[in-house]
Structure 1
Amino acid sequence: MMFDPHAQRSRKVVRRTTHRVVGRFPSLKSSRVVHWESQLERDMIRLLEFDPAVLSYREQPGPLTYFESGKRRKYTPDFIAQMTSGVTVFEVKPYEQSITSPLKERLAAFREYYSAQGIDFLVMTEREIRKEPRLSNITKLLRYQREIVNPASKQVVINLIDSGVQTLAGLFEHLKEHGVPFSQVYALIAQGILGVDINQPIDNDDTSVCLRRAS
């Protein structure tokens, strides 16, 4: 399967109803608006947008056809992503649905289908997507994704880390002396220039920070 982040969705997005919330996410990583059809899909998009292993992604790639009870059916996965390791297809489902027949068997068959093409197929439930504090950290950091980082401020942060400042609290204290707003640090993390352990609370004084790349 060839990956094109700008390809058209294979079906129309469902409409918003009293029982279903839908929306759109303006992805910088994919340079397009990505649609979501549930809040769980919205949270999955946040993970894809932040994950440095994801180069680009889009919703609802080309469908596959399968047969069930003698009837021809069509399946459209939720997301496809170009990863640093190859292409991965993601299906987003509530956990209880994912372990219930016949969906469980269908998902296993879809995994075999994609595997034969050299494509990973992952089922993502709230157990994987909504791990805390990871999701809250990512949600917070993505608010700073579009903030313009002043080159001089960026260099100050890099110099501090190179000189041995290794925590967010340490950066905060030094940046006040340089008149650099701390939002610039969050922007550098959101833009993949600084790294933190996203699985630990990022507001702790001892949160470690490192330089991921100098570009």
Structure 2
Amino acid sequence: MQIDAKPLPGVAIKLRHPGCTFAFLDVELRKIGRSPRSSPYGEQSRMPSMKMRRQMRANSRIEFDNLRDCELDPNVLEFVEQPAWLIYDLGGRTARHKGDALLRTQTCLEWREVKFERDASSVENEARWPEIGRSLNSLGIAFRVVTERHIREHVRLKNVEAIWENRLSPIPSEADRIAILEAIDTGAATTIADLRSLCSIELSTMLALIRRCFLAVDLNKPISEQTIIYRGSGLRYAAGTKVFNL
């Protein structure tokens, strides 16, 4: 939380996830048990995160989609699922809420609740979202409710799925990867077409490099030959194998 934050009365963060290594460092850790065989929320699944270098858990398919989106979003630097419990006041009584994800982005800490639209807009949830938001804001943390309208927006989802489907495509040698970064850094290549022409690489290879956060694109725009390409966050590991060391 921000140093100058002034928590509202009764607001506190409790029982931090062990994977939350970028926030709430003075909060007691909670134990993470084995994944349940079933869940009332939907399919249980895991996602191997290269950004966070560990297996991440999702309690439902939409939470899995959110983790996958965070993994590929260049604006998200670090993230953790079910980060901690928020203790807050709701209509004069003490309530608690465990967020679905905490993100460290380029600009802020964002506490994220992931719900289907029908659940997010229920009377009960519409009443508590403002109080949760006020409480988190008093800690210097942004709050956002994300639904399938955001995570599964047609263009963004199509891009994420294309990147994921090509994640195992062969990647260039270290010398070629250095050449790719030099082309981007010098301005010799600004689009996917430029890089493909200059470095003679296939689109599937480009997508595999985006999955590794070696390269980055705007996920909100259709990926095409004219897509602007950026240097990624420089991920160094893929399935235990060193990929590139910035």
- Compute the TM-score of the two structures, normalised by the length of structure 2: 0.69
- Alignment pair present for 1:49 and 2:62: no
* More moved, 116-125 vs 8-17: 8-17
Number of equivalent positions: 211
Distance 1:64 1:137, change over 3 A: same
Which residue of the partner structure matches residue 175 of structure 2? 152
Counting aligned pairs with the same residue, the percent is 27
Do 2:159 and 2:222's aligned partners in 1 also have CA atoms closer than 8 Å?
A: yes
Which residue of the partner structure matches residue 237 of structure 2? none
Higher relative contact order (CA 8 A, sep 6+): 2
Do 1:59 and 1:80's aligned partners in 2 also have CA atoms closer than 8 Å?
A: yes
Distance 1:98 1:171, change over 3 A: same
Please, which of 99, 123, 142 is the counterpart of residue 120 of structure 1? Answer: 142
Amino acid corresponding to residue 177 of structure 2 in structure 1: K
Do 1:195 and 1:211's aligned partners in 2 also have CA atoms closer than 8 Å?
A: yes
Do 2:18 and 2:30's aligned partners in 1 also have CA atoms closer than 8 Å?
A: no
Distance 1:213 1:107, change over 3 A: closer
Unaligned runs of 5+ in 1: none
- Alignment pair present for 1:209 and 2:229: yes
**In the aligned structure 2, how far is the partner of 1:69 from the partner of 1:57?**
31
Q: Tell me the SS of whatever aligns to 1:200.
A: coil
**In the aligned structure 2, how far is the partner of 1:147 from the partner of 1:182?**
11
Amino acid corresponding to residue 6 of structure 1 in structure 2: G
Distance 1:28 1:5, change over 3 A: farther
Q: Which string of whole-angstrom CA distances, capped at 9 and with x for unpartnered residues, describes residues 125-180 of structure 1?
A: 1111111221221232245289654112224434666575554345445555xxx5
- Compute the TM-score of the two structures, normalised by the length of structure 1: 0.78
Distance 1:5 1:82, change over 3 A: farther
Q: Which string of whole-angstrom CA distances, capped at 9 and with x for unpartnered residues, describes residues 174-215 of structure 1?
A: 555xxx55543223333334343422332x444443556894
Name the Cα RMSD after superposition. Answer: 3.4
**In the aligned structure 1, how far is the partner of 2:155 from the partner of 2:139?**
35
